Amino acid sequence: MCHRESENACPRYVMPFAAAPAQLFQLRRAVRDQLGSWGASAVVAEAELVATELGANVIKHVGRDAAASLVLELREGLVRLEVHDRSCVLPAALAEACADGDECGRGMHLIAAMAHDWGSARTATGKVIWCEFSLKPDGCEGRTGRVAAVLSVYGQRGSAPGVDLAALDATVTDVITDLLHWLAAQGGDPDGALGRAQMHYEAEAV
């Protein structure tokens, strides 16, 4: 059962869930509704993606129907998102996971790219993976930084002098394709997302 807290003027929302594919939609909806009620809609897209990825990781690495919980906190200038589960095994370091070519490793890289900051820690009952999303406007510079972090997962350095534009174009295509496949696997609408992204790009490029 979900509950909300507001101790020390820090709004907090807790949602226990059983790790199952059907619950991922409920996680996204909870994030969207709660952040919207707090006036933090600016980070909803990133937070929804991260909550879904962390929920999927619980299913994959802890077990289907494993007990877990989503925690959202509204702090000064940021939103903190946590997913707690009962496994004490922390995620592998990003470099180690990526070296193995593991899809979860790539997922954690995407989380690192989406969030302002993130980390993991053992708790008395298992572990927590947390992410923080800045509510301060970051404009194009913030987006460029997130893109650079994502591209680094694919071995590209988009801002390097003398970059190979043909290779960069191919890498960006791979990133978009992987994201659309990921969205479809979560039950999302790849065509709709691609269309909305194109509209946002055209509106902001004016």
> Mean pLDDT, the chain, as a whole number?
80
Question: Greater confidence, 202 or 48?
Answer: 48
* Angle at 109 (CA atoms; ends 42, 174), nearest 5 degrees: 90
Domain count, the chain: 2
Distance between CA atoms of residues 129 and 20, nearest Å: 18
Checking if the pLDDT of 167 tops 70, the result is yes
Strand order in the sheet with 12-18: 3-5, 12-18, 67-75, 78-85, 127-134, 117-122
Enclosing domain of residue 75: 3-134
Please check the confidence at residue 104 and state whether its pLDDT lies above 60: no
Q: Global pTM? A: 0.64
Report residue 205's pLDDT band, with 50, 70 and 90 as the boundaries: low
Percent of the chain with pLDDT over 70: 71
Q: Higher confidence at residue 111 or residue 119?
A: 119
In this prediction, residue 187 carries a pLDDT of 79
How much is the average pLDDT of 196-206? Answer: 69
152 and 117, same domain (yes or no): no
Mean pLDDT within 18-39: 94
Indicate whether 110 and 182 sit together in one domain. Answer: no
Are 124 and 143 part of one and the same domain?
no
Question: pLDDT tens for residues 130-152?
Answer: 999 998 765 555 556 566 666 66
Residue 98 reports pLDDT greater than 70: no
More confident residue, 32 or 196: 32
Please list, in sequence order, all residues whose beta carbon lies within 8 angstroms of the beta carbon of residue 142, skipping any fewer than 6 positions away: 134
The mean pLDDT of 184-206, rounded to a whole number, is 75
Verify that 39 and 86 share a domain, yes or no.
yes
Q: What token pair was written down for 83?
A: 């997913």
Residues 27 and 127 grouped into a single domain = yes
